[in-house]
Each structure stands twice: as structure tokens, then as C-alpha cells.
Structure 1
Amino acid sequence: MRRLIVTSCSVLVVPEWGPCRVETDQDILVEDGVIAWLGPAGTGPDSAGAETVDGTGLVAVPGLVNAHTHGPMTLMRGAAEDVSVEDWFNERVWPMEVNLTPADVGLGATLACAEMLLSGVTTFADHYFHAERIADAVVRTGIRADIAPTYFSSRGRAALEESAEIAAALHGTGDGRVTASLGPHAPYTVEDADLVRLAEVADETGLRIHIHAAEHLEQTESSLARRGVTPVTVLERTGVLDAGALIAHGCGIVPDDLPTLAAHRDRTGVACCPKVYLKHALSPLTPVRSLLDAGVAVGAGTDGAAGHNTLDVWEAMRLVALTQKQAERDATWMTVSDTVRLATRGGARALGLGSRIGALEPGRAGDIVLVDLSGVHCRPVHDPVAALVYSTRASDVRTVVVDGTVVVREGRLLTVDLPELLAEIDARVPALLDTSHGRAVQHYDP
């Protein structure tokens, strides 16, 4: 039996509803990757022989969940700035993606996993090409992920079936740390017949579907003009919502969509990634308040680093709080407790992992992040939950445990040779950024 105990830490308690709180001087015992006991220091079961992590002076928080990203896009960080969303796709990112090899995807995914682990993210939902290489990176680095192989209808029906086979093969690998979803890109790049087929596959296999939909209001307006229905209605009619869906962005979700989403609230989640909406001057934002009122799970995401620049969920959840207060014109909305919940329990529910991760409780996975709030940017700490939301930096993360295994210790990642990885990536950058070939993986015209 693998045993680990975190001793004498403070513990962030994240209930399903209501205020979060911090309990001081606690021990957390993890056995075979699962939290077996949590309570006052020194009062728990015998921990003789367990690996010990000293949590004195640190706050243990549930591992953060990045509810939507494209990990390998770390390779394009900062290479598509100050452009419209149309040019971002058609002139920069999709032409650059033509250059990617499977090995490149593996490098970018490894860098993404490293960045996320060092910042306290222990689980992420990914949507990208060459999903096997992403899964390899997840297994090697020790993180947890739900991986969706990206599919466009332009690739043909054989590619659809292949993507489904890949997802089914990946699901449950890495000692259960890898789960998989089906990955149709979006209603405007995947034909209805293909969405119907993927919903059938989801029903046959038990897999969920991770899809971009109603990314912004212009997409919804375009869908209404072209088809007479919203993107959410397309998901309903094709069976995607019945299968269980993680919807990326949802800024174009309109009031008429809410009853439909509410009817599927037990299996539907939405990922809100506000930094990219701000960068691309998109309005409105994800209607977080309306979705939560409808019982739909909402998580905080970063999208890919080609747009978000970092994979820092501390930054993402802070921006969720600030932008939602502004959007609702209500300073009392999106409390610090609500915000923390989005980055933990909310993200877990959105990924369909609500019973496994998202809180530090017996029976849940031993995904634990120890955060140091002693820095001058956090002191004095009047409210540790507020400090976690509005003051904490990724560099405040000290130790990270995933599935009961220490993967970051005292700020050092134990599973990746970072200098070697960065040298390999730097050697590939010139070829990756060359768009003189004039081709693209797809054309953006929603």
C-alpha cells in the first residue's frame, strides 16, 4: 500500500454550497492515491511508514482544475498577439498548426503539464490533435487529464471513427489518471451527421463529448441566420447534450438556451476562459450566473497558451471573479468562495469527475496543493480564502501531490528535465512559426 501523510497544514474546505473556510493544524492521510483520513494533527490513524510531507505554515488546497485548454499550444505562446479573432485563427494559429509533428505535440504537451503542475493545477481538460502524445506526457509528468482528440468534418468520416477509437483506447490509462472524451471541434466545423454519430459513439462507450460551442455572440447570431437555431439547440438536436458535454466558452449562450441546458444539468458543464475573451475584445462573457442558477456546472479554464499566454488557473479564476462582477454590475456577486469553487469542485463537475476530485475529503483522490501565503503580496492574511483568490501567484505553490504521489517538492518539478525540454523546444520554434506555406488546418468562418 502506498501511504503519504501531509502534516500540520491548514486545509481549505470547499463545500458544495456556501462559504469556504480554512481549518488550521490538520493532517491528511492518503492511501493508494485516495484520501483516507483528514483531521486535527496527531489524532489520526497510525501513519508509521508513510511518506511524510511537512505542511507547517502552508495551506492545503484541492488540486486546481483547468476546465478547458489546448496544452500543445504552449509552443505558440505569444506568437499571435493584437489581432482579431478571425486573423488569430486564419492568419496565425491554424497556419502554424500545419507545421506540428506528433513529436512537437508531445513537447508542447509536456511543457504544458510542467507549467500546470508547478502552478498547482492537477487536472486539465485538453482538446487537440495527436492525443496519444498528450496522454504520454500526462503519464510521464504525473498530472491528471481528460483528453479529447480534435475532429473536423473536413477530415472525413474515417478520421471521425479513428478519433473515437483513440479516445476509447486512452480512457482509463495511466493508472486511471487519463480519461478521455470525444472531441468534435465545434458545430460550425463539424456537420450535424457527424455530431449525431459521435453522440452514438458516446452512448455506446460511455465517453463524454468536449466541444466548442456558442463561443461568442456573433457565432450564435450566425447560426440563427444560417440555420434558424442556436449552437446549443444544435447540440441538443444531435444528441450531444444527452451524451454529456463539456462546452468550451459559451459566451454566446442566450436566455432561450438556458432551459435546454438546465434539462441536461446532470451531465453538462461549461468552461469559462475570460482572459481570451478580453484579449479578443469579445462581448458578452460566459453567463456564469445564469448557468449556475440553472444548475449547470461551470469551471475556470485558460484555453490554449497561444491566446491565454499562461496556463495559470489562479489568474483565470481571478479574472472570472472580476469580469463577472463587472458584467453583472454587482460587487457582491462571484464571492471568493464561489470563485474558489469554480476552480475546484466546479471544474471537476464540468469534466464529469465531480465524485473523484475537486475537494479534500476522505474517499476523493489525493490531489493536494500546498500554498505559501507568507509572501509580502499576501500579508497580512485577514481572510485566507480572499488571499487565495486575489493575491496568490503560481510561484506561491510549494508542493503538489497527484494521486498520492509527490510531483512537485519545494517548488521543483520532479518528473521533467526542464532544461532539456526547453532546449528541444527552442530548436523547433523557427520551423513551427513559419507560415509561408500558405496552408491552414481549417478556415475560421462560423
Structure 2
Amino acid sequence: MSTPEPRRLVVRGCDVLEVPAEGECTVVSGKDIHITGNLITSIVPTGRPVPRAAEILDGTGLLATPGLVNGHTHSPMVLFRGAAEDVPVHDWFNKRVWPMESNLTAQDVHHGALLACAEMISSGVTTFVDHYFFPEQIAEAVASTGIRANIAPTFFSSQGPAALAETVAFAEHWHGGAGGRVTVSLGPHAPYTVDDADLTTLAVHARRLGIGLHLHASENLAQTESSMARRGITPIEVLERTGILDAGVMIAHGCGIIPQDYAMLADHADRVAVTSCPKVYLKHALWPLTPIRDLLDLGVTVAAGTDGAAGHNTLDVWEALRLVAMTQKLETRDAMFLSVSDTLRLAMRGGAAAARLPPGAGALEPGQLADIVLVDLSGLHHRPLHDPRAALVYGVQTNDVKSVVVDGRVLMRDRKLLTVDVPGLLAEIDARTGRLVDTSSGASVQFYDP
């Protein structure tokens, strides 16, 4: 039996954003991006002959960028978008979100994940780093929509040993699934909801399976102060003592990381990433912010994320990276910190590293994954276009994204989603809305008291 020919795609006539590992990002004009299977094979001047069997994606007048990575989210929480506003963080968890989440069924999560995948594809996100319940349902949504994800099944110690075994079984079954588009990290929720013994056990499993972990730690300074008052050590020290740092971990938020944590993070910088989601910190009036300058100086990977849409309202990573840049300039009192090139590199290469994609991912280069976004910078809000890089960081709106390629497959062409039945999905979502936000039962998935 003959081996089928690999899929071929040519993105034709586009400009290309080059995102080097160091230095200035640049834009080169008039290129064709040749793709075979799921990899970029060459980037050449446009107009050269293309393989007869190749699919053509017209990039005329558009800027090709690496796909965005949502470095930390809870994708099905789109179901609670706008349902927990104008409350402090304790009430957000204890009076709104965790009671609402007790209503979720597996099918709710599946449809919520489908909606999240559709929203992210339509805004130029090609990979997301997720942490949530019913992970099988999220994995199925990723498989069917064509997006890429690293999925961590949420685990609390209060769920008991059976739930811990289930989270490990999910990793054993799904890691590398959907043709490699689904990868898995183990997902202890946080040091204040998972005890040290379980953290240690999950770190051992992660090393055995050759995967990482994804959790919340030192989310804000109050959590760090509480940990020091109760235990005499910071949350980062908990991660070091339990083997989490050594196994490799993506830390969500890290706004409470303090200087005494720095040596531990530096010692594990090759396997630790931190994702900053500043919109939720602003909404909850939380300060300080993620110490991005110090983390980068330590060699720690930093990415941008949205957190869940119950807090961020959208899964718009353009907005997230914009807020990372602006809030860090204010935090450091340095208008030159996080230049447009550094911000794009953080969101693209940094995001890819946080998602544990292959080395070098997050750039449009031969041999890299064909995760490509075509952006239209011709709109009134971009003219005159003095610097396309600045437009990407400070001006892009989600509807500027015209087409999206993931793993060499076109998922959106000229704003039309090709893998999601949008009207049918929205009907499913609307049918669930009232039940999901009803908190009258008094049930809750957890109590927030870090």
C-alpha cells in the first residue's frame, strides 16, 4: 500500500513578521510560506512556482505572524463571562465562581471548551495552556476544532486519591493525542489547595511521564504573606521542597514572587515558566504585578495569558500582551522596558516555551510548526502604518485577524471558521446559561482561604 502524500499548503504573497530569539523583530515583504504536513519548509520571495497539489491561502496585503499562545486560561469559563463583576477576589471565588462551577456537567464543559476554541481561533490564538475540570471534554474539543492545547486537569487534595489517579490516567491516555496537538501537564490547583504529599506525588508522576506541571502559585502578595505566616516559607519554597520546580512547571500569575524566591527560580530557570494575566489583577485591584523584569533577568520564561473569561471577559491575547507591556512600564517606571519587539517575543516565543512546544517554536522559520496568523493592518485604526510591530502590540483588534493556520491546516479563512458549527454551538450555549449561574443550592467546588 502506498503512503499518502503529505498535505501541502502555500500562504502566498504575505509580509512576514520575523521574531528572533534576541534583538529587534522585523517585517519582510512579499513572501510565500511553503508548508508540508505540519511544518514550514521554506519562506521564499512570492511569485515562484508552487506545487500543483498545494492548497493556496492568499496572504496579499496581510502580515503573517506566529500564532499567539494563551499562556494560562480555564477555557470552559467562557460560560461565566460577565457573571462575577465588581467584587474582591475572595467574594469572586466564594460567592460567585466556585458556587457556579458546582453546576457544571461534562457536556457543559465540552460546549464551553468548543466556544473557547472558536473564540481563540478567530482572534489568532493557535495554542492555549489550560487548567480545568473534565479535561477529556476539553481534549475532545481541541481534537475536533483543530487548535493546539496543553491541558492540565485541575486537582484539589480534597477530591482524594481516586481523583489524583484519574488526573494521572488522563495524562497517560491523552498526552500526544490528536496527532500531537494535545499535550498534557499535571494540574494541582495551588499549594494552598493541594497538600505537600500530593504535590510530591504529582511531581514524581510528571518526571516519570516526561511532562510538566501547571499550577497557581504566589498569585498575589497576600498569598505569599499568608504562607509565610502559617508555614514560615513562601509558596515557591513549597514548590521547591516538593520537587515541583525540579520536575518543570508553568506557574500562573506569580505576582507574589519575592526576592527570596529568586535563587530557587534561577536554579530551575530551564524548566520553569510564569504566565502574567494583568487584566484580572487590575479588575481585582491586586498589586504588585508579576515581576517580569526580574524573572527575565533570572532566565525564567515569561508568557502572556488571559486567565479564564469569568475574570478576563475575553480570551483575547492581543489585549493581554498589550496590557503586559503597558502595566510593566508603569510597574517599573520605565517607558523603555518591554519594547514592542520584546513584547512580541514574550507572547510568541515565550508563550510557545510555556506551552512546552518544540524548541524554537513561536517563530515563522523553516522546520518550525506551521501555526500562522494572517493579520490585516489596513484598517482606519492602523493608518498611517509607521510601524507594523507597534500596531500588533498596541492597536490590533481581534477582527483584524483574517485567516489562521494550525499544524498546517487552515482553521479560519477570510474570517470564516471552518471547523466549528457556530450557530449550533451558540444554541447549545444559550440553552445552558440560566442554570449555570444559579447559586441558590449553596454548593461550591472549594472555599478560597489561601
**TM-score class, shorter:** over 0.9
Q: Contact (CA 8 Å) 2:10, 2:50: kept in 1 or not?
A: no
Partners of 1:120 and 1:203 in 2: CA distance: 32
1:357 Cα deviation (Å)?
2.7
**In the alignment, is residue 327 of structure 1 matched against residue 331 of structure 2?**
yes
The answer for the alignment partner of 1:201 in structure 2 is 205
- How far apart, CA to CA, are the structure 1 residues paired with 2:27 and 2:403? 18
Secondary structure at 1:175 match in 2:
helix
2:9 maps to 1:4: yes
Choose the corresponding residue for 2:322, options 318, 324, 339. 318
Residue number in structure 2 paired with 1:87:
91
Find out whether 1:434 has 2:438 as its counterpart.
yes
Which deviations, in whole Å up to 9, do the C-alpha atoms of 1:181-206 show, x marking residues without a partner? 00000000000000000001011111
Q: Deviations over 1:63-100 (max 9, x none)?
A: 00000000000000000000010000000000000000
* Inter-CA distance 327–354: structure 2 relative to 1 (3 Å threshold): farther
After superposition, residues 43-442 of structure 1 pair within 5 angstroms as 43=48, 46-355=50-359, 357-442=361-446
Report if the CA contact (8 A) 1:356-1:365 is conserved. Answer: no
- Contact kept, 8 Å, 1:74 with 1:304, in 2: the verdict is yes
Q: How far, CA to CA, are the matches of 1:74 and 1:293 in structure 2? A: 34
Instruction: Give 2:3's aligned residue.
Output: none
SS at match of 2:126: strand
1:21 alignment partner AA: T
Query: SS of the counterpart of 1:11?
Result: strand
Aligned-residue RMSD, C-alpha: 0.9
How many pairs does the alignment contain? 445
The reply on whether 1:42 has 2:47 as its aligned counterpart is yes
TM-score if structure 2 supplies the norm length? 0.98
| Deviation of 1:42 (Å) | 3.2
CA distance in structure 1 between the partners assigned to 2:240 and 2:216 by the alignment: 14
For the Cα contact (< 8 Å) 1:262–1:296, is it kept in 2? yes
Q: Given the superposition, is the C-alpha separation of residues 428 and 46 from structure 1 closer, same or farther in structure 2, using an over 3 Å criterion? A: closer
Write the distance in 2 (CA, Å) between the matches of 1:18 and 1:162: 44
Q: Quote how far apart the aligned CAs of 1:41 are.
A: 1.6
Q: Deviations over 1:115-162 (max 9, x none)?
A: 000000000000000000000000111100000000000000121111
Separation (CA, whole Å) in 2 of partners of 1:46 and 1:263: 48
CA deviation vs aligned residue, 1:269-317 (integer Å, no higher than 9, x gap): 0000000000000000000000011110000000000000000000000
1:182 partner letter: L
Identical aligned pairs, as a percentage? 64
2-structure distance, mates of 1:88, 1:425: 22
Q: How far apart are 1:439 and its partner, in Å? A: 1.1
Structure 1: which amino acid aligns with 2:173? A
In structure 2, distance between residues paired with 1:363 and 1:52? 20
CA distance in 2, matches of 1:402, 1:430: 34
Contact 2:301 2:350 in 1 (8 A): yes
CA apart distance, 1:354: 4.6
Distance in 2, matches of 1:385 and 1:184, equals 37
Matches of 2:239 and 2:358, distance apart in 1:
22
Q: Structure 1, residues 151-179: CA drift from partner, whole Å, max 9, x if none?
A: 00000012111111112211000000000
d(CA) in 2 for partners of 1:271 and 1:404? Answer: 26
Q: Does the CA contact (< 8 Å) of 1:345 and 1:354 recur in 2?
A: no
After the TM superposition, which segments of 4 or more aligned residues of structure 1 sit over 4 Å from their partners? none
**Could you tell me how far 1:62 is from its partner in structure 2?**
0.2
Q: Any conservation in 2 of the 1:168–1:207 contact (CA below 8 Å)?
A: no
Q: Which amino acid in 2 is paired with 1:156?
A: G
| Long gaps (5+) in structure 1 | none
Local SS of the residue matching 2:178: coil
How far apart, CA to CA, are the structure 2 residues paired with 1:256 and 1:442?
30
Give the whole-Å Cα distance in 1 for the aligned partners of 2:119 and 2:21: 28
- Aligned equivalents of 1:293 and 1:168: distance in 2? 35
Select 1:21's aligned residue among 14, 17, 26: 26
